[in-house]
Amino acid sequence: MHPALQGILTIAFGVGGCVGYFYLSNIILDHAIFPARGTHIARNIRRANIVRPWLFLLPALLALGLYLAYPVFETLRLSLTERVPGGGSVFVGLDNYKQMLGEDKFWEALQNNFLWLLVVPAGATAFGLLAAQLTDRIAWGNLAKSLIFMPMAISFVGAAVIWKLVYDARPPGAEQIGVLNAIYIYYGGDEAQQWLTIPFWNSFFLMAVLIWIQTGFAMVILSAALRGVPEDTIEAAIVDGANPFQIFFRIKMPQIMGTIVVVWTTITIVVLKVFDIVFAMTNGQWQTQVLANYMFDKLFRANDWGVGSASAMVIMLLVSPILIWNVYNARKEMR
Amino acid sequence: MANLKLTDIAKTYGGTVNVLNNINLDIQTGELVVFVGPSGCGKSTLLRMIAGLEKISAGTLEIDGQVVNDIPPAQRGIAMVFQSYALYPHMTVRDNMSFALKIAGKPKAEIDATIERVAKTLQLGELLDRLPKALSGGQRQRVAIGRSIVRNPKVYLFDEPLSNLDAALRVATRLEIAQLKESMPDSTMVYVTHDQVEAMTLADRIVVLANKGIAQVGTPLELYESPQNEFVAQFIGSPAMNLFPGKVIGTGDVTSLRLDGGGLITSDVPTTDEDMGLTVNVGVRPEDMLITEVENWVMECTVNIIEALGDVTVLYFDSLEGQAPWIAKLPGIHNGLRGQSVRLTATPAKVHLFHNGQSLLYR
Ligand SMILES: Nc1ncnc2c1ncn2[C@@H]1O[C@H](COP(=O)(O)OP(=O)(O)OP(=O)(O)O)[C@@H](O)[C@H]1O
Ligand SMILES: [Mg+2]
């Protein structure tokens, strides 16, 4: 079967299945299990209404349980075991973790992750805020916004490919196509550089990709928040003599601080899980390793499920507190 | 400390929506001028043009003899109190009040002293370290007023400052504003309101805005006693003035009129011989209507509805097809008038005459 046709069938089957499930299960609940008639009509309606939310949540709960909750525990179990040659596994306690902590690559990955953590959320939020403020008042602001938002629609791997071309360097003599090298040479650089192989700085070239993607997200959310700042507080500040910078930093920004925090933490979570960009651009070489790519290396290249799972647990431990804080802030914002 | 002079001011939004035209107005130092008018007539627009928040489309605005059309709000020496208070939600009361002074780079000691002084006059002392969301509506309004006072402006601008308060608080805050004005006799104030009582009690002069222009400017009692046109006559005073169509049948120092319903009445408004036979609207305020037995009645009608308010009784009568009912407001309590036919008249001094909407008093 043609893959497109297959896709359409899957969608039709999935959506139809959902609608069918909700419709039929509702009918069964209302007519067969707790019928709204007879002597216990009031009690039946009440019970049906108690059960209904769970009925509707059931598919989602099952799916999340199967694909999220179960893997967490399975990963935890795997991280404490080791494969035995010839099949099966044995419990090895914290050995995998010990081995992992002894590896330089792990520490490099952890270090890089922290670097990403410092740079990307700050960069994306700052650029997003700037874009939101600047595009708000101009006639072609919406066009600018769509352009800035567009990278959000590109997969990380696609974005990595695009930026690989930006950083590209061909052997001397061949025609150069990399934009960065073009700029470098225009401003007096001697010859084309292999940007992605220059340790320390190459991490920043990778981060640029994620900032490029996430700025659009930050901009959209912050732009909505900026519009929510009451116009008359801004007018009051104008009357009070504040200049545009003071209005932005002392009146507008403090009022959207909650949203800024939510955007910041959301991007932080994306950053902690960053994998595709590093995988597609350097695959962790030249000291650009990050935790998720390290995990992938161990799990699927070295076939070492123990250490791979252990690093997955580390990532989860790092993400969880930020996730909880993020949800807490988002809820506070919604109130 | 400052007088305002508005010359031929006009406002057009976006080049097409014309809102105000030919506004000419002199506001003296120390005056409290109130802008009133129906919703959407441009009161806020005019105030915001004075503040500098809205561009002046045509004409000139002078503050203290200086043309300020192109001077930014902060340098015009004005302060504005917004209807929604517009307090900075993330700043404490103290920071709200000191924001302008900090921006202006005043030394800290001076700022603190000013805040203390103003907080004391407005009884905000306890609240200085609270955030706006922890204040009641009335307290927020006081902070907003305090924030304008600390800047020591030449002109205060108020845009419906009391309209978000409940009735009792509105009266109390109105008195506070009156006292505030009293304590600062040199400061000029411009005040926009919907509320007639506010306008009548606070204003030195009232500016009635209507039809993109000024309908009349005058002291509250001038507007009440001798309105220049039907609009002002019906806008000022509550319930609105009754208008009876009629004809002039006798001229001179006093004018005699025959009403379309057959009634007769005289007015102290003088007329000349040319006015004989002129069709006019005879205006009588509900509170000036008197129950009478004499022949010179304005109208003889059946009482439709009675509103007994205790101190006064409001009677509603059927008027002409498709028009608002005629109303009489009698002092005291009058029971049992409902469904009765009564004759009403008014003393000549209280009878206004309008021709084509304009008062015959101003010719
Ligand atoms: N930005 C704008 N663009 C176009 N028209 C506007 C704009 N702002 C106000 N107007 C129009 O100008 C007119 C006057 O508005 P304004 O707010 O001054 O009225 P107002 O007298 O203060 O009314 P209210 O008593 O309801 O506050 C209204 O008809 C309004 O629709
Ligand atoms: Mg208004």
Domain end marker among B234, B250, B276? B234
Q: Based on C-alpha coordinates, what's the Rg of chain A?
A: 26
pTM for the model: 0.79
**Both B10 and B45 in a single domain?**
yes
**Both B289 and B174 in a single domain?**
no
- What residue's CA is closest to ligand 1, atom 3? B13
**Both B357 and B210 in a single domain?**
no
Distances (CA, A) of B56 to A6, B21, B74: 65, 11, 16
A20-72 confidence digits (pLDDT tens):
998 998 888 888 888 877 788 888 888 888 888 898 898 889 999 999 889 88
Ligand 1 pocket, residue B84 CB under 6 Å = no
Predicted local confidence at residue A297, as pLDDT: 83
What domain range includes position B143? 4-234
**Both B141 and B288 in a single domain?**
no
Tell me if residue B12 falls in helix, strand or coil. Answer: strand
DSSP B289-313: -EE--SS--SEEEEEEEEEE-SSEE
B51 lies within 8 A of chain A by CB = yes
Ligand 1 pocket, residue B88 CB under 6 Å = no
**Both B160 and B297 in a single domain?**
no
Report CB contact under 8 Å: A238, B72.
yes
Domains contained in chain B, number:
2
A218-277 confidence digits (pLDDT tens):
999 999 999 989 999 999 999 998 999 999 999 999 999 988 988 988 898 888 888 888
Direct distance between the N- and C-terminal alpha carbons of chain A, in angstroms, rounded to an integer: 50
**Both B290 and B143 in a single domain?**
no
- What residue's CA is closest to ligand 1, atom 18? B42
ipTM of the complex: 0.83
Q: How many CB pairs under 8 A join A and B?
A: 59
Report CB contact under 8 Å: A235, B86.
yes
**Both B244 and B106 in a single domain?**
no
For residues B282 and B259, the answer to whether their CB atoms sit within 8 Å is yes
Domain end marker among B234, B254, B282? B234
For residues B83 and B160, the answer to whether their CB atoms sit within 8 Å is yes
**Both B302 and B200 in a single domain?**
no
**Both B206 and B288 in a single domain?**
no
Is the backbone peptide bond immediately before B239 cis, with ω within 30 degrees of 0? yes
CATH for B182: 3.40.50.300
Tell me if residue A55 falls in helix, strand or coil. Answer: helix
- Among candidates B344, B355, B346, B349, which has minimal Cα distance to B277? B355
B113-165 confidence digits (pLDDT tens):
999 998 888 888 888 899 999 998 888 988 999 999 998 899 999 999 888 88
Chain A residues bordering chain B (beta-carbon distance below 8 Å): 230, 232-233, 235-242, 246, 250-251, 254-255, 257
Q: Within 13 Å of residue B176, how many CA atoms lie on the same side as its CB?
A: 18
Domains in chain A with CATH codes: 3-79 (no CATH), 98-334 (1.10.3720.10)
Ligand 1 atom index nearest CA of B37: 21
**Both B188 and B260 in a single domain?**
no
CA of B42 to the centre of ligand 1 (A): 5
For residues A283 and A157, the answer to whether their CB atoms sit within 8 Å is no
Q: Based on C-alpha coordinates, what's the Rg of chain B?
A: 24
Give the pair of three-digit tokens for residue A278.
């590093």
A100-151 confidence digits (pLDDT tens):
788 888 888 888 888 888 899 999 999 999 999 888 878 888 888 888 888 8
**Both B112 and B142 in a single domain?**
yes
Give the pair of three-digit tokens for residue A228.
């929510």
For residues A28 and A51, the answer to whether their CB atoms sit within 8 Å is no
CATH for B335: 2.40.50.140
**Both B102 and B216 in a single domain?**
yes
Predicted local confidence at residue A239, as pLDDT: 92
Domain end marker among B191, B214, B234? B234
- Among candidates B267, B207, B266, which has minimal Cα distance to B236? B207
